[in-house]
Amino acid sequence: MDDQSALDRIKAPELERVLGHTWRVLDDGFVRVVDYLGSDQAIVQAARVSYGAGTKAVHEDTGLIRYLMRHRHTTPFEMCEIKLHVRVPMDTWRQWIRHRTASTNEYSTRYSIAIDQAARTDPGAWRLQSSRNRQGSAGVLPAEVGGRFTEREAELQALARNVYEERLAAGIAREQARKDLPLSTYTEAYWKIDLYNLLHFLGLRMDEHAQAEIRAYATVIGNEIVRRWCPIAWQAFKDYHLNSLTLSALEIQVIRRLSGGDRDGARRLAEEFGWLATRDGKLRRNRERAEAWRKLRDLGIDPPWPE
């Protein structure tokens, strides 16, 4: 290996073709790739602590990356970084910025005029509060009912913008004039993160329980960007994390009983674990029991207790 080949920039050809491309998200949001460092090859390079270009078969590189992903050897994935330019509603950005493993620089409304665009909600997209999850939703309002809320939303956003612009025209400081802008107002940011922490972000935000708005961004980042950037790592991530099941020691004990045909024994275990506690003759809510129930269903096993 000569010195020059060791210094050659590792490229991801599929991602190179879409640098600067704008993927639209929601009504006026977007994601675009500004720059990146590394690719699947960089992961392999870091794991082997040598460049080795052309010395290993493709299937060997694939096998190594899948081994690293499967056994949670995370450092090689940190050798890849990506910088995104995103436009996102402020309420969604609040969830996004909770992931503190990235470098971020956000559009500042102290220095600049706030972006004159706010996220709108279609009449059929007003979600109802979940009765089982305080931070989640379940179902939607009928569009004929939601239409009224969409109208009121537009009125509120227009009023807030008008008041904001009146303050600016009167000479009020931007840092104070912005105080009553709605959280639906779009903001923009540059967001730089390594692949390991990006995959952690996507694992949480592509999950079906994540809020729909941030899930829309995460889905674009994963399926459109990471897929082109590090396709082997992305497939391994989907196989071992996104589309896999993790079983607890308790769940394994239950499955062993069920696989032996001992449904009564499996139910007794569930009782010992506290999953089947009752109140006033009814099963008390238990998240661990519900999660175990869904996993058994996914495995084609009929659970010996109600959800």
The two structure tokens encoding residue 251 = 């769940």
Given 87, 178, 205, 228, the catalytic residue? 205
Beta strand pairing status for 186-194 and 103-106?
antiparallel
Q: Which residues contact 149 (CB under 8 A, 6 or more apart)?
A: 121, 123, 126, 141
d(CA 88, CA 95): 11
The question of whether 205 is a catalytic residue gets the answer yes
* 3-class SS letters over the chain: CCHHHHHCCCCCHHHHCCCCCCEEECCCEEEEEEEEECCHHHHHHHHHCCCCCCCCCHHHHHHHHHHHHHCCCCHHHHHCEEEEEEEEEHHHHHHHCCCCCCEEEECCCCCCCCCCCECCCCHHHCEEECCCCCCCEEEECCHHHHHHHHHHHHHHHHHHHHHHHHHHHCCCCHHHHHHHCCCCEEEEEEEEEEHHHHHHHHHHHCCCCCCHHHHHHHHHHHHHHHHHHCHHHHHHHHHHHHCCCCCCHHHHHHHHHHHCCCHHHHHHHHHHCCCCCEECCEECCCHHHHHHHHHHHHCCCCCCCCC
Beta strand pairing status for 282-283 and 278-279?
antiparallel
User: What is the set of active-site residues?
Assistant: 205
